[in-house]
Amino acid sequence: MSASRPRTWGRGARMPLETAAPAGAPAATAAPAKPALELIDVRASYGRIEVLHGVDLAVPRGSVVALLGPNGAGKTTTIRVASGLLKPDSGCLHIAGKHLNGASPEDLSRAGVCTIPEGRGIFPNLTVLENLELITYAGVRFSDVRERVFGLFPRLEERRKQLAGTLSGGEQQMLALARAVATDPGLLLLDEISMGLAPKIVEELYRIVGDIAKTGVAILLVEQFAAMALSVADFAALMVQGKVRTVGEPADVERQLQHAYFGGAA
């Protein structure tokens, strides 16, 4: 569990304050911060099959939330709703307090949401530098992109002239993360970034995810390596059969995972 960021939300805890109260004003006048992401009673379907059955989930600003659960629980569908790839049938999607139901992925990107789906998301026939240069279409200076990315990913600087498709699987995932970080998102959605990678590489990736979190980016991550996800999470949510059953401290949720995955004793 990360110890570098203070706990700001959870059972019995208050949400962080968005702004400090004016000098001399009572603390009660300060407005509570809106979560980076909030799903309220969200239902979503593929055709006639409803997958999400009233999901409630919040990702506080500057926090990492690990969304865990067995296969088919609805975790990836939750990411798709949060990223605008799937329109919810009902319920509310809020980004930093703004109601954005039905917003396109492009609209959500402009609102500060960045998604790394399963399978990464790079251009294999372009070099590492060329992949990063594409970020500048949004008005980001390339010098800023290089400074931020290579500070977090020194290995990519070594590979900067190499075609992305010739990188190792772990390096390609680093490049996908780098492209996301370069956009300076407020909310990062990560879906199974460990897929197909060796445990040692996954450990390195999650060290980088922890470093990204320290910069203040809110992160919602779906991960099959529960222990790895919990090691960087401030909070964890357990999803079963299309609903979030438990939200709490990582250690508390970890104790319930065995029952959720295998039907055994918690």
Give CA–CA dist 108/136, Å, rounded.
18
pLDDT of residue 137: 67
Plot region of 140 (φ>0 → left; ψ -120 to 50 → alpha; else → beta): beta
- Determine the 3-state secondary structure of 105 from DSSP: helix
Annotated domain spans of the chain:
31-112+187-196+217-266
d(CA 151, CA 157): 9
Range in 23-27, 168-172, 173-177, 215-219 the model is least confident about: 23-27
Mean pLDDT over 29-35 rounds to 72
- Rg of the chain over Cα atoms, rounded to whole angstroms, equals 19
For 140-199, how does the pLDDT look when each residue is reduced to its tens digit (9 = 90+)?
788 888 888 999 999 999 999 999 999 999 999 999 999 998 888 999 999 999 998 999
Q: How confident is the model at residue 35 (pLDDT cuts 50, 70, 90)?
A: very high
Q: pLDDT for 43-93, tens place per residue? A: 999 999 999 999 999 999 999 999 999 999 999 999 999 999 999 999 999
Contact 191, 223 (CB under 8 A): no
Q: How far is CA 19 from CA 10, 29, 86, 139, 241, in A?
A: 20, 10, 33, 28, 38
19 has a pLDDT exceeding 50: no
Q: Is the dihedral of CA 22, 24, 29, 33 positive or negative?
A: positive
Secondary-structure breakdown of the chain: helix, strand, coil percentages, each rounded to the nearest 5 = 35, 25, 40
pLDDT of residue 225: 86
**Residues 224, 165, 85, CA angle at the centre, nearest 5°?**
50
> What class does CATH assign to 31-112+187-196+217-266?
alpha beta
Q: How far is CA 17 from CA 132, 180, 187, in A?
A: 34, 27, 18
Q: How far apart are CA 107 and CA 223, in angstroms?
A: 26
Distance separating alpha carbons of residues 39 and 47, to the nearest angstrom:
21
Tell me which amino acid residue 107 is. D
Confidence of residue 262 (pLDDT cuts 50, 70, 90): low
Name the pTM for this structure: 0.84
C-alpha triplet 157, 161, 165: angle, nearest 5°: 100
- Indicate whether 263 pLDDT > 80: no
Taking the C-alpha atoms of residue 252 and residue 202, their distance in angstroms, rounded to an integer, is: 23
Tokens of 130: 């060329």
